[in-house]
Every structure is written in structure tokens, then in C-alpha cells.
Amino acid sequence: MKAFALLLDRLSFTPARNGKLTLLRDYLRDAPDPERGWALASLTGDLSFDAAKPAMIRKVVQARLDPQLFALSYDFVGDLAETVALVWPRKPGANAEPELPEVVDALRSAARREVPQILEHWLDALDADGRWALLKLLTGGLRVGVSARLAKQALAQLGNVPAADIEELWHGQTPPYEDLFAWLAGRGEKPSADTPGRFRPVMLAQALDAPGDFEKYQAADYAAEWKWDGIRVQAVHEGGQRRLYSRTGDDIGKSFPDVLEALNFEGVLDSELLVLEKGHIESFGDLQQRLNRKTASADLMRKFPAGIRAYDLLLDGTDDLRRAPFAERRKRLEAFVAKLNDPRIDLSPLQPFADWEALTHLRAHPPQGDAQKAEGLMLKRWDSIYEAGRPKGPWFKWKRDPHLVDAVLMYAQRGHGKRSGFYSDYTFGVWRTEADGSRALTPVGKAYFGFTDEELARLDKFVRDNTIERFGPVRSVRANADFGLVLEIAFEGLQRSARHKSGVAMRFPRVHRIRWDKPAREADELSTLEKLLEKET
Amino acid sequence: MKFSDLLRPTPAGLYCPPGDFYIDPVSPVDRAVITHGHGDHARSGHGAVLATRETLAIMAVRYGADFAAATETAAYGTTLTRGEVKVMLYPAGHILGSAQCALSWKGMTIVVSGDYKRRRDPTCTLFEPVPCDVFVSEATFGLPVFRHPPDAGEIQKLLKSLKQFPERSHLVGAYALGKAQRVICLLREAGYDETIYVHGALMNLNALYESFGVALGSLAPATTDTKDKFEGRIVIAPPAAIADKWSRRFADPLPAFASGWMRVRARARQRHVELPLILSDHGDWDELTNTFEELKPREVWLTHGNEEALLRWSALNGIEAKALSLVGYEDEEA
């Protein structure tokens, strides 16, 4: 348990992705089987217990420690699992520390009423870090910032194999993954990826570099379609298994029983998950209501009915089409979707175009309807096979130009790692006219990239020179009609948000330009964003 | 006779009427006994100061040789007389030269422990328990959540991280007096004999420790006039410097912080610490409560920190305790 506890501890304090990867890879290399497999499963969410409810843990600790001392401690720490881990008064002469596999075995076989007693023994045997890890595991919330994607990447690094290999065979594996580790260490065969209902690593598009790429590529070689603003999903029905995978191979089917129910076919579709109402797509904000939920209530599904818009066919019956050219896959896809005849699964239509100039015009002037809500265009070579990864040439994405708004810098926060000595995270606001006619800045978003190192140094200096208040790592910066720094912010879209005072939330905001020259009073108004919001939703 | 006839809290600090002197006064007084060299306990501008040789040397480094009108050195265990009161200094185990001050008068003894810890520290003499009627204790970590783990394990965390992230400068925030030198000594004990780089603010104090026989090994200033970006190096600096422009000279710095507060995750996160090292120069909950049990004084007086839980513990364990709630003693870098 010690090594696992230390891993969780370090992961929880390490913000950088590369740092997390190093910690994970080193742990998976050094820890023995089956411990590392259980640890991996707990991090990827493939192992959770929910064995202990907070009330039970509280009861166990209050039998050991004076309730008043516990209350004072909890008040100071603020997190139940952490408080218990820290205050637990160990009885002397406790047993040896339990190892992770032992904990997993015991929890799988124990009856619920036995858990408190087992827990007490373990808490006596472990040190504070071990107790914290145990309680996090028991309550089913590790929350140390490790996605399944990251864990798979660490595995790929460990075995020096492509991440797509791991993604493809992942769904055939079960914890504690001993065959997988044996293969990665060069001690065993590659585990079979031939599992029905498995995830197929996806093909990704390069960003189009217009107009330079127009010189290099022929318009006639490509098909174009709109780039829909939803979630890329792989919809699978194979060997009796229905699955809905995110583009990184996470199974998100639980949140979308309505979509799973519609997968009345044998095959694998590459498609966009959207909220679809009578054949028309709703905003991304609506889709967000459906994401990351353990279940979906009937009411939620009625309010935000989900569907998929198909754009590729990887498996038709038992035919693996991935080596076939896009032109052939497309023909098969059109027939496949037509035969389904289900409003929850429709076809992403191709957009014919004569030459690059015509395509440029189309992107700038999308026709009425769903196209207005598209993020841009996708280009796919007619002769391209479906290959995992992001090859240069066969597929391109050509996003719409971002929205721009002039906002005023209001708060700045210190960054992490290389930026720990810099104020690099900026909260910016726009003007709002109050009922009495006065104007005040209201925060509308936060951006922490889009500038060069030289610009960062200047921004940092501006923040330090114009700080009016500090709260921990955050500084409030002088910003009023007569003084302030205007940041031109680029963003992809706008959503209504009840959590933000301004009522709007930006997607993917970044600093586009720093307007050292522009007076703060001339920054944009909230009403400008509100108008855009009406157009978007 | 009441205990408060021998010692009582006043706005300037703890005052001893029959000896006419203050202990660690927060404003200038005629006569002071100083328990240790930290700025909130040892201030300049007093008339006569009584302290250990080490504490006087620390004050001279921090404030200049004229920090007080007159000084008197007291070795641990020797008895001095102030008015009607016998004064003795005992090791407190907090930092180099730190002392508890025992006052005896008319058959009663009060021990003012200053800041203290009970565990071994290679940079200072171990705390010595002194039987007394009243034990005056700090309460910095007076909550049961604070149980500092063994030092060696914390140092191993740092050394392991250095191996895992050889491209990053490991910046260890440590209070300039005491903690910094202790971290260095603990690293040396763990077998780390590379050069350790230090912030300018630590140089004088490091030299002072070495002059008192605390060997720190190879040290060098973390200056910018070389091309060195300090990849894979340990750099020790006052905590404030790590959050500041100063840290920009380092390659992808990994911020660590050696403090008892690092036991609580939210505290570490607030400071953007990536590697919290739980190393404290103050006693933890067990050290504080075990000391009260061991000494069995008739009363415990708590000076500053988290008194509430200790008062509750004392009530549950039949020890009479009260909070003096002295102001002016900071504990943020503990």
C-alpha cells in the first residue's frame, strides 16, 4: 500500500501531464503484480467499491476519538477522508500493513456489515498516507487527475509501444492485467485485441494550413463535410455487445442508454454524438447536460434526446473496412444508415465543391440550418484508408475563424511549473451597463495561453505593477474606465451559464492579441456577447 | 502565593515581576530573556538581553552587533539570579541555541518552553524535560491532525523525486533560520553529498551554523551569473522567494516546501507546492500531549497557536490548562 499511497499523493500535487506520466510509468514499472494492475484499475475507474459511506467512516472514527477533537480537526482540514487519515489514533501492536491486492480481495468478498471492522484494522496498520489512499479507494473517489487516456499512455511508454495498440486491446483486458504487463515487459505474447465490442483506435485530422495547403493538394481528391460540434464517438454493436466509446476509448454508454438502444445493426460507426431533435442538432451546451453522468433519467433523455450523426463505417457486419478507401466506405455507410431508418442515427452529408475557392466561400457562408452550428469543415481524401493516429495529408479539419472580443484584464493567478514565478492565468471582463446607467466590469472568462514568453514577461510586469489586492496566489489588477489592459480574446463558442455571474461561459478562450494601445473604456460590452449567444443557441 | 505573581502575560509579552524582566517581549523593554533567534521571539532594541551564546550570535547576524544595549550569555544548565528569581536555561530542541527558561521563586517553578520539539535534530541539542509547576507551551500544531512523520521518509521523498525528474530544479522552501540548515543536514545524513544551492538570504546563517560546529557540506549560491539552470539540483530558499520572480532562473522548477503545515493538503495546494515535505521545528500533537503527560505540571499555559483542541485534551486528561493568547508570534512558516 505504501507505494500506491505515495503515487496517489504525488499525482494529486503534480499538475503537469508529463509529470503525471512519469510518476505513473515509474510506478507501473516498479510495483509487483497484481498490485500494479489493481492500482491501474482504480485509477482508470475500472475498479471502484463504494464500500464505505461517509456516515460509516465518521462513526468508526468517533468511536476512537473524542467527537469534539474530531470536529475541531474536520473543521480545520475540510475533507472527511483526509481528516480521518490524519487524526486516526493507532492502537499499538497493529498487524502488518495490508497490501493493495489484499484490500481488493477482502472488499470483494466482505459483507457490508463487516466493512467497519475490517476498516478499523487497516487504519491501525497503515500510516497517514496509507490511510488516506485506503479511504479514497473505499469511498470510490480517487480524483488525482488521471484520465483513462493518461493511464494508457503511461502503459504505452512503459512498453515502448504505440498508444493506439493499448487502446485497441484495452477493452479485452480485465484487472489486474497480468498478461498485459507481461507483454509490455517483453515476457509474454501480445494479448489478443480480437474482443467483440472492442474499441478501434480512431483516425484524427490535421489542421488545414490555408492557403498554403491549397498549393500542395488537389481539391478533386477530397470530399468535404461539416465538422459537427458534439463529441466524437465510436458506436459499436458486435457479437451482442453494444458500446459507445469516446475518441480515446472510454466507454461512455452508461450516460446514453437512448443511443445504445438505437444501435440496431452489426458494425462499427464513426460518428458525432449530438443532441438531435427532429433531425436537427441542438447546442453543445445541451449536450453537456448529458455528459459525465452515471445514468440518464427519462426526463433528461426527453429534454435532451441524444443521437449520432455518422460519417464513417469501420466494420460492416463482419467486414473490417478500415483498409478500404474512403470512397468505398462512404458508399457502404450511406447504404448502412439508409437501411437503419432511425431518426436517432443520421448521415453527415457530403458538401460538393468545385475548387478550393468554392470551399472557402462555403466555410465563410454556411447555409441556414445545422451548418450554421458547425465548427468548420472536414476534408477527407477519397482514396484514404482508415488509419489510427493523425497522419498528415489524408484528413484535414478547417475550423471556422474564432470569435473575438476585447476584454479587460481583471485578475491574474500564478502558474505552475515553468510559470510558477509568473502571473500567467488571466481572468478578463467586459463592460456591463447597470440599471442606473453606470458601467462596471464583469468577468466573462479565464485564459492562460496564446502569448509568447516575451509577452508573458510583459504581462507579468503589468500585473505586479498594477496590483490592487491579493488573495493567496491571485492578484486583483487595476481596471477601470480610465486605466486597464485590454486583451483581445479569441474563443470558439459561447454558452449560457448559471455558474458565472455574467451568465455566459466561453469555449476554449485564449489571448489572441494584447492591446497595449487600446483604452479600457473602449473594450466590448456584455450585450455584444449576449447577442452572439442568441445567435448560437 | 499565586503562579501569576511569578509570571504573567502583558501586552509586551510574558513578564516576571520579582525578577523584573520579560521573556521574548514583542516590544522594546529594559530587560529580556530570549528563548531563541526567530524574529518574532528575538527582537532588537531591548536594554539588556540574556540568552544562549548561539541565540546572541544569531541576533547579531540578523540585527547587527548593537541589537541590544547589553548582553549576557547563559549556558544550558547554569543558574543565574535576577532579583529574587533563579533563572536557568535548558535545551528546547527547536533550532540552534533554542532554550526553555525555568524560573524558580519561593518554592515554585515555571518553565517557559518557547518553541520546542521533542524529536532529534542534527542541528541542535535535544529538548530536556524539566519538572515544573507550570509549563508554558506553544500550541502551533495543537490539533490531532498534526502528527509529523519521521524525517527520513520526507527526505527520501525529495531524493526519489530528484531521480524521477532529473531535468527539474528542486526548489525547497525552508525558513531561513533553522529549517534550512536542518534540511541540509538531513540530506547529508541520507547520503546526499552533491553541492546544495542556496538563496542569498541563507548565506550568513549557514556560515553561523558552521561556526558552531554544524557541518553542512558543499554549498554554493544559486546565482544567475553562470549558464547553469540547476537541472536536477536541490536549491534551498526562503518560502517567499519560491513564489517570486527569483525562481525564474531555474529550469522547470519543482516547488517543494518543508513545513509542518504541509501535512494538510489544502495548505500545500494553496501555495502551489508540488512536493510537500512535512518537516517541522515545532512539536506535533503527540509531542505536545506526551510532554504534558510526562511533566504532569499543575498547570499548562498555552501561549500561541491552536489552543482549543489542547484545552479539550487537557480537560479530558485531568490537566488544568489555560490559553494566554499572546499576540505577535507568527507561525506561518513553521
Tell me whether residues A420 and B247 touch, CB distance under 8 A.
Answer: yes
pLDDT at A92: 77
Residue identified by cell 457490508 is A112
Q: Torsion angle of alpha carbons A312, A316, A322, A323, nearest 10°?
A: -130
Q: Could you tell me which chain A residue has the CA closest to the CA of B247?
A: A421
Q: How far is B248 from chain A (nearest CA, A)?
A: 6
Grid coordinates of A455: 509577452
Instruction: Name A310's bridge partners.
Output: A271, A347
pLDDT at A420: 74
Grid coordinates of A69: 477533537
Residue A466, chain B, CB below 8 Å: the answer is: no
Domains and CATH numbers, chain A: 2-139 (1.10.3260.10), 206-399 (3.30.470.30), 403-536 (2.40.50.140)
Q: Do residues B7 and B16 lie in contact, with contact meaning Cβ atoms separated by under 8 Å?
A: yes
Grid coordinates of A114: 463487516
H or E element at residue A526: helix A526-536
Q: How far is B234 from chain A (nearest CA, A)?
A: 15
A2 is catalytic: no
Tell me whether residues B316 and A66 touch, CB distance under 8 A.
Answer: yes
Tell me whether residues B270 and A414 touch, CB distance under 8 A.
Answer: no
**Alpha carbon of residue A358 to chain centroid:** 35
Q: Torsion angle of alpha carbons B303, B271, B230, A447, nearest 10°?
A: -160
Residue A248, chain B, CB below 8 Å: the answer is: no
H or E element at residue A272: strand A267-277
Which residue of A86, A419, A461, A467 to mutate against B (max B Cβ within 10 Å)? Answer: A86
From the list A15, A87, A420, the residue facing B145 with the nearest CB is A87
Q: Is the peptide bond before A34 cis (omega within 30 degrees of 0)?
A: yes
Residue B242, chain A, CB below 8 Å: the answer is: yes
From the list B147, B248, B272, the residue facing A473 with the nearest CB is B272
pLDDT at A419: 80
How would you classify residue A245: left for phi > 0, otherwise alpha for psi between -120 and 50, otherwise beta? beta
| Chain A / chain B CB contacts < 8 angstroms | 92
- State the amino acid at position A143 in one-letter form: R
From the list A23, A77, A417, the residue facing B145 with the nearest CB is A77
H or E element at residue A222: strand A222-227
Can you give the length of chain A in residues? 537
Grid coordinates of B111: 518553565
Q: Cα separations (Å) of B334 from B116, B179, B261, B277?
A: 11, 8, 7, 12
Q: Do residues A155 and A137 lie in contact, with contact meaning Cβ atoms separated by under 8 Å?
A: no
Residue identified by cell 481572468 is A427
H or E element at residue B299: strand B299-305
Closest CA to B264 of B284, B246, B281: B284
Q: Could you tell me which chain B residue has the CA closest to the CA of A18?
A: B165
From the list A14, A77, A472, the residue facing B270 with the nearest CB is A472
Residue identified by cell 528563548 is B35
Integer Cα distance of B77 and B23 in angstroms: 18
Q: How far is A237 from chain B (nearest CA, A)?
A: 43
Task: Name the B residues in 34-73 with CB < 8 Å from any A CB.
Answer: none
Integer Cα distance of A370 and A307 in angstroms: 14
Which residue of B270, B274, B307 to mutate against A (max A Cβ within 10 Å)? Answer: B274
Contacts of B173 in chain A (CB under 8 A): none
Q: How far is B106 from chain A (nearest CA, A)?
A: 38
Residue identified by cell 532562473 is B249
Q: Could you tell me which chain A residue has the CA closest to the CA of B250?
A: A418
Integer Cα distance of A419 and A399 in angstroms: 30
User: Which alpha helices (DSSP H) does A446-525 contain, by range?
Assistant: 453-465
Cα angle vertex B154, ends A147, B161, to 5°? 50
**Alpha carbon of residue A388 to chain centroid:** 20
In this structure, the strands spanning B13-16 and B21-23 are antiparallel
Integer Cα distance of B78 and B91 in angstroms: 12
Tell me whether residues B242 and A420 touch, CB distance under 8 A.
Answer: yes
User: Which alpha helices (DSSP H) does chain B contain, by range?
Assistant: 3-6, 53-63, 151-164, 179-189, 203-211, 239-242, 265-270, 285-295, 307-316
* Contact residues for A516 (Cβ-Cβ < 8 A; gap 6+): A485
Closest CA to A309 of A252, A225, A207: A225
Q: Residues of chain A whose pLDDT is less than 50?
A: none
Q: Do residues A227 and A376 lie in contact, with contact meaning Cβ atoms separated by under 8 Å?
A: yes
Grid coordinates of A303: 429534454
Which residue of A2, A6, A12, A13 to mutate against B (max B Cβ within 10 Å)? Answer: A13
Helix/strand/coil for A25: helix
Which residue of B145, B164, B257, B332 to mutate against A (max A Cβ within 10 Å)? Answer: B145
Q: Which position among A227, A254, A446, A518 bears the catalytic label?
A: A227
Closest CA to A509 of A424, A450, A442: A450
Integer Cα distance of B150 and B134 in angstroms: 30
From the list A72, A416, A418, the residue facing B309 with the nearest CB is A72
Domains and CATH numbers, chain B: 3-145+282-323 (3.60.15.10), 151-277 (3.40.50)
Tell me whether residues A72 and B246 touch, CB distance under 8 A.
Answer: no
Residue B86, chain A, CB below 8 Å: the answer is: no
Grid coordinates of B77: 544548565
- State the amino acid at position B73 in one-letter form: T
Residue B164, chain A, CB below 8 Å: the answer is: yes
Tell me whether residues A82 and B264 touch, CB distance under 8 A.
Answer: yes
Residue B318, chain A, CB below 8 Å: the answer is: no
Contacts of A420 in chain B (CB under 8 A): 242-243, 247, 253, 255, 272
- State the amino acid at position A119 in one-letter form: L
pLDDT at B334: 60
H or E element at residue B301: strand B299-305
Integer Cα distance of A4 and A13 in angstroms: 15
* C-alpha radius of gyration, chain A, whole number: 27
Q: Do residues A309 and A520 lie in contact, with contact meaning Cβ atoms separated by under 8 Å?
A: no
Tell me whether residues A13 and B276 touch, CB distance under 8 A.
Answer: yes
Integer Cα distance of B95 and A359 in angstroms: 74
DSSP class of A291: T
Tens digits of pLDDT across chain B (334 residues): 899 999 999 999 999 999 999 999 999 999 999 999 999 999 999 999 999 999 999 999 999 999 999 999 999 999 999 999 999 999 999 999 999 999 999 999 999 999 999 999 999 999 999 999 999 999 999 999 999 999 999 999 999 999 999 999 999 999 999 999 999 999 999 999 999 999 999 999 999 999 999 999 999 999 876 667 899 999 999 998 887 888 888 878 999 999 999 999 999 988 889 999 999 999 999 999 999 999 999 999 999 888 999 999 999 999 999 999 887 776 555 6
pLDDT at B330: 66
From the list B245, B275, B308, the residue facing A421 with the nearest CB is B245
H or E element at residue A9: helix A2-13
Q: Do residues B72 and B9 lie in contact, with contact meaning Cβ atoms separated by under 8 Å?
A: no
Integer Cα distance of A408 and A523 in angstroms: 7
